[in-house]
């Protein structure tokens, strides 16, 4: 089998209901779809989503079509790690982190989809899965919601069968975080996991001050307390707090996780498919984390559920509320894995 053509389709439109975290307004529904075709008629597809920046989907499309695709036309699409090596070497000169990484990830995901489809099996079966359902929590506590809105959406998540809820913090003073956390806790009950996510908003001393309070409020983890690249800060913070530090969604490539894991700076590792390097790198990062005894919770869901099915250290898939049409239902708080060939997913 040979790769014969790679095409890209772009969508960039305003989001109907923009959401806010501590550092940004996510107001776009951008999407870059990559389709890898072969001489045997099988093709693979991947979607990369963008929550803001109007032009990003089209810029990624240009990188894929003009720079990455030409060097892998004619290659055997099952040599997924070989193709990754070729693309990393190509982009090294300009810096592989950033949109080059998004492009390599998009191709990686499309190749896994293609491999699953060519063999007629879902990718999680190819990876030697450990489980057939994935525990899910609902990331629903955005900062544009007032306390009544937070309470309503948290109640909705629990009604849908989620066992835990995540909420954004750091949008205002600590007293505001405390009242919002208490409101959500009152809705979900004393024993349900409640995670807080600061989206890199704090410096070290503020992260320490707030972390001690989130700890007192029995939060399950403290996500992105510091700028993502501050490995030393994460290590020092983890030494001073008992609450696990969760991070990883803004790190590029598996080497960005090595020192963080080795130093003990992360208690829950959270790679993102687009930034970390696709399914292949997320799987390898997850296994590296497993070696350090660190649990893995994906940033986002979608195709990530195939990685989560395979890793020994999986604890959660991140989800929004389930779609209103009822096509997805949780079973005992878990997503069932899709049975269609390739990288299909529920959301
Ligand atoms: Mg996050």
The enclosing domain of 221 has a CATH number of 3.20.20.120
Q: Are residues 197 and 328 in the same domain?
A: yes
197 Cα–ligand 1 center, Å: 6
Q: Is residue 318 part of a domain?
A: yes
204 Cα–ligand 1 center, Å: 18
Does residue 227 sit in helix, strand or coil?
coil
Q: Report pLDDT for 345.
A: 81
Q: Are residues 253 and 276 in the same domain?
A: yes
Q: Is residue 220 part of a domain?
A: yes
Which of 119, 141, 166 is where one domain is finished?
119
335 Cα–ligand 1 center, Å: 20
Rounded to 5°, the CA angle 246-183-227 comes to: 25
Q: Is residue 223 part of a domain?
A: yes
Mean confidence (pLDDT) of the chain: 97
Q: Report pLDDT for 115.
A: 98
Q: Are residues 172 and 308 in the same domain?
A: yes
Q: Report pLDDT for 326.
A: 84
202 Cα–ligand 1 center, Å: 14
Q: Is residue 342 part of a domain?
A: no
Q: What is the average pLDDT across 66-90?
A: 98
Read off the pLDDT of residues 304-339 as tens digits, 9 standing for 90 and up.
999 999 999 999 999 999 998 888 899 999 999 999
Q: Are residues 72 and 52 in the same domain?
A: yes
Nearest alpha-carbon partner for 209 in 251, 247, 169? 169
Nearest alpha-carbon partner for 252 in 217, 233, 228, 234? 228
74 Cα–ligand 1 center, Å: 38
Rounded to 5°, the CA angle 289-295-297 comes to: 105
Q: Are residues 68 and 108 in the same domain?
A: yes
Domain containing 78 — which CATH number? 3.30.390.10
| Residue 179: pLDDT band with limits 50, 70, 90 | very high
167 Cα–ligand 1 center, Å: 9
> Which residues touch 109 (CB under 8 Å, ≥6 apart)?
34, 44, 46, 273, 278, 279, 303, 343
Asked whether residue 347 carries a pLDDT value surpassing 60, the answer given is no
339 Cα–ligand 1 center, Å: 28
CA distance 144 to 171: 9
200 Cα–ligand 1 center, Å: 9
254 Cα–ligand 1 center, Å: 18
Q: Report pLDDT for 104.
A: 98
Better-predicted residue by pLDDT, 63 or 347: 63
198 Cα–ligand 1 center, Å: 7
Q: Are residues 96 and 135 in the same domain?
A: no
Q: Report pLDDT for 240.
A: 98
CA distance 200 to 346: 29
Q: Is residue 346 part of a domain?
A: no
Query: Any idea which of 35-39, 112-116, 343-347 has the lowest mean pLDDT?
Result: 343-347
Q: Are residues 179 and 282 in the same domain?
A: yes
> Which residues touch 122 (CB under 8 Å, ≥6 apart)?
116, 306, 337, 338, 339, 340, 341, 342, 343, 344
Q: Report pLDDT for 327.
A: 85
Angle between helical axes of 174-188 and 147-159 (0-180°, round to 10): 30
Q: Report pLDDT for 321.
A: 96
Q: Are residues 108 and 170 in the same domain?
A: no
DSSP state of 10: E
Q: Report pLDDT for 268.
A: 98
Name the residue range of residue 24's domain: 3-119
201 Cα–ligand 1 center, Å: 11
30 Cα–ligand 1 center, Å: 18
84 Cα–ligand 1 center, Å: 26
Continuous H helices in 99-254: 99-119, 123-126, 147-159, 174-188, 204-216, 231-240
Q: What is the average pLDDT across 144-169?
A: 98
248 Cα–ligand 1 center, Å: 9
Angstrom distances, CA of residue 282 to CA of 256, 257, 266, 275, 332: 12, 11, 16, 9, 26
What is the percentage of the chain residues whose pLDDT exceeds 90? Answer: 97
CA distance 251 to 125: 27
Read off the pLDDT of residues 236-295 as tens digits, 9 standing for 90 and up.
999 999 999 999 999 999 999 999 999 999 999 999 999 999 999 999 999 999 999 999
Burial of residue 248 (number of CB atoms within 10 Å: 0-12, 13-18, 19+): buried
Kindly report the pTM of this predicted structure.
0.96
80 Cα–ligand 1 center, Å: 28
Overall domain count for the chain: 2
Q: Are 210 and 236 in contact (CB under 8 A)?
A: no
Around ion ligand 1, residues with a beta carbon closer than 5 Å are 197
Beta partners for residue 222, in sequence order: 196, 245
Read off the pLDDT of residues 208-245 as tens digits, 9 standing for 90 and up.
999 999 999 999 999 999 999 999 999 999 999 999 99
């Amino acid at each position: 089998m040979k790769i014969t053509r790679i095409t890209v389709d772009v969508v960039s439109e305003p989001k109907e209901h923009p959401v806010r975290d501590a550092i940004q307004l996510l107001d776009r529904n951008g999407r870059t779809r990559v389709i890898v075709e072969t001489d045997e008629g099988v093709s693979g597809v991947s979607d990369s989503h963008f929550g803001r920046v109007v032009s990003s989907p089209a810029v990624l499309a240009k990188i894929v079509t003009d720079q990455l695709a030409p060097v892998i036309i004619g290659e055997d699409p099952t040599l997924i790690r070989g193709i990754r090596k070729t693309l990393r070497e190509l982009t090294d000169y300009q810096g592989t982190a950033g949109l080059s990484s998004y492009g390599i990830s998009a191709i990686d995901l499309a190749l896994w989809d293609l491999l699953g489809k060519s063999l007629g099996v879902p990718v999680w079966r190819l990876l030697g899965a450990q489980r057939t359902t994935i525990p899910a929590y609902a990331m629903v506590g955005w900062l544009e919601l007032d306390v009544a809105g937070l309470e309503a959406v948290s109640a909705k998540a629990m009604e849908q069968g989620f066992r835990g809820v995540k909420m954004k913090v750091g949008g205002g003073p600590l007293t505001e975080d405390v009242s919002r956390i208490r409101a959500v806790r009152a809705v979900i009950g004393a024993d349900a996991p409640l995670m807080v996510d600061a989206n890199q908003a704090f410096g070290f001393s503020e992260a320490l001050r707030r972390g001690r309070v989130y700890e007192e409020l029995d939060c399950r983890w403290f996500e992105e307390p510091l700028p993502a690249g501050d490995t030393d800060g994460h290590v020092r913070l983890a030494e001073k707090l008992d609450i696990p530090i969760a991070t990883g969604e803004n790190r590029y490539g598996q080497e960005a996780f090595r020192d963080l894991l080795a130093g003990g700076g992360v208690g829950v590792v959270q790679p993102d498919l687009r930034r970390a390097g696709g399914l292949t790198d997320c799987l390898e990062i997850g296994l590296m984390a497993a070696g350090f005894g660190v649990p893995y919770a994906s940033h986002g869901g979608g195709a990530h559920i195939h990685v989560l099915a395979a890793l020994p250290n999986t604890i959660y898939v991140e989800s929004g509320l389930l779609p209103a049409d009822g096509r997805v239902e949780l079973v005992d708080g878990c997503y069932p894995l899709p049975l269609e060939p390739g990288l299909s997913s529920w959301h």
